[in-house]
């Protein structure tokens, strides 16, 4: 829904111009705009939020020997207390934009923080997952898709509700149920939406149905959420080379090289004398945003990746 709401809520946006304004079209079919797309998408982080890329460091490799991030002291958040040096960590990452393409094609990714009404719940799931290694990565991804698709958590399977109850507070679960939304994906309004927006809305609708249908498998949901084939350049894309460093506001450098949507190699460089020394790298506050807007945003985690 990222593309949908961004395109439909900005005044005089190209999408609005294309079909005469969301409000006017909604009025014709007897619906309020908020009943169709809601006030805001659950996670709003997008390419304009990724303001910390450093093109001057393209091709740069720190001189320090590479160390595992796992050698650093951990925090209760599942993060790491930073010390000077050059670190790598192969983590579990998660898709936060259904109905788009996974990584590939040499596209680079930049740092941006989680933003949006569901940022608290999303970060809580990712942080708490570190202390629950018994919860499968697929189950965590399923919960994140449920949030992005605005599914009602009370309608999920008993297994998924049990996982959600271990990773979220009752207050957060109640808020997610209040914010759930039935999105219009067929009829006059949907027919007039631009193709990429319609695809995202349809993927979210399909996910909502699968999440509450007995027998739907993770593979079924993955096929809907992660598009196959070559990814076109999305609107507003930037030419970001693979491996570009971002300068985190805390003073360290970070880069993301996704191996797939579910696992990313993170590099962190903390120069000697950096203000980042002693600060926390909290993966749940890092969304790797692709330069190609038709690819998925990937939130990072403090869990090491293990192939299934």
Q: In this prediction, what percent of the chain has a pLDDT beyond 70?
A: 81
Q: Is residue 71 situated within a structural domain?
A: yes
Q: Is residue 39 situated within a structural domain?
A: yes
C-alpha to C-alpha distance for 112 and 289, rounded to whole angstroms: 7
Beta carbons of 94 and 136 less than 8 angstroms apart: no
Q: The pTM is what?
A: 0.84
pLDDT tens per residue, range 174-195: 888 876 665 444 455 456 666 6
Residue 279 structural domain: 2-299
Q: Is residue 14 situated within a structural domain?
A: yes
The full DSSP string for 5-65 is HHHHHSTT-HHHHHTT-HHHHHHHTT--HHHHH-SS-S----GGG---B-GGGTT---SSP
- At residue 228, the pLDDT reads 86
Q: Is residue 308 situated within a structural domain?
A: no
Neighbours of 59 (CB within 10 A): 8
Task: For residue 123, give the nearest of 131, 134, 115, 135 by alpha carbon.
Answer: 115
Q: Is residue 305 situated within a structural domain?
A: no
Does residue 24 register a pLDDT over 90?
no
Q: Is residue 307 situated within a structural domain?
A: no
Beta carbons of 22 and 195 less than 8 angstroms apart: no
Q: Is residue 260 situated within a structural domain?
A: yes
Task: For residue 259, give the nearest of 62, 92, 25, 13 by alpha carbon.
Answer: 92
Domain total for the chain?
A: 1
pLDDT tens per residue, range 69-85: 999 999 999 999 999 99
């Amino acid at each position: 829904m990222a593309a949908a709401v961004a395109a439909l809520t900005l005044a005089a946006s190209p999408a609005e111009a294309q079909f005469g304004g969301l409000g006017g079209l909604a009025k014709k079919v007897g619906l309020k705009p908020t009943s169709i797309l809601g006030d805001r998408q659950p996670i709003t982080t997008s390419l304009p939020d990724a303001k910390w890329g450093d093109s001057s460091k393209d091709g740069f490799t720190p001189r320090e020997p590479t160390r595992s991030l796992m050698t650093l002291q951990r925090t209760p958040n599942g993060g790491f207390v930073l010390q000077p040096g050059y670190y790598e960590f192969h983590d579990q990452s998660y898709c936060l934009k259904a109905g788009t393409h996974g990584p590939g094609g040499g596209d680079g990714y930049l740092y941006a923080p989680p933003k949006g009404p569901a940022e608290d719940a999303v970060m809580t799931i990712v942080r708490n997952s570190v202390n629950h290694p018994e919860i499968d990565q697929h189950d965590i991804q399923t919960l994140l898709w449920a949030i992005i698709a605005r599914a009602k958590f009370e309608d999920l399977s008993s297994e998924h509700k049990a996982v959600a109850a271990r990773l979220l507070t009752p207050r957060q679960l109640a808020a997610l149920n209040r914010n759930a939304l039935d999105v219009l994906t067929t009829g006059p309004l949907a027919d007039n939406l631009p193709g990429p927006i319609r695809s995202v809305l349809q993927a979210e609708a399909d996910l909502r149905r699968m999440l509450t249908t007995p027998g739907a498998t993770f593979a079924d949901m993955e096929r809907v959420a992660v598009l196959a084939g070559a990814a076109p350049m999305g609107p507003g894309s930037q030419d970001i080379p693979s491996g570009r460093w971002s300068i985190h506001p805390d003073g360290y450098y970070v880069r993301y090289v996704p191996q797939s949507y579910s696992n990313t190699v993170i590099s962190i460089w903390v120069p000697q004398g950096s203000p980042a020394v002693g600060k926390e790298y909290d993966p749940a506050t890092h969304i790797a945003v692709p330069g190609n807007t038709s690819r998925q945003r990937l939130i990072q985690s403090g869990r090491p990746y293990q192939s299934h």
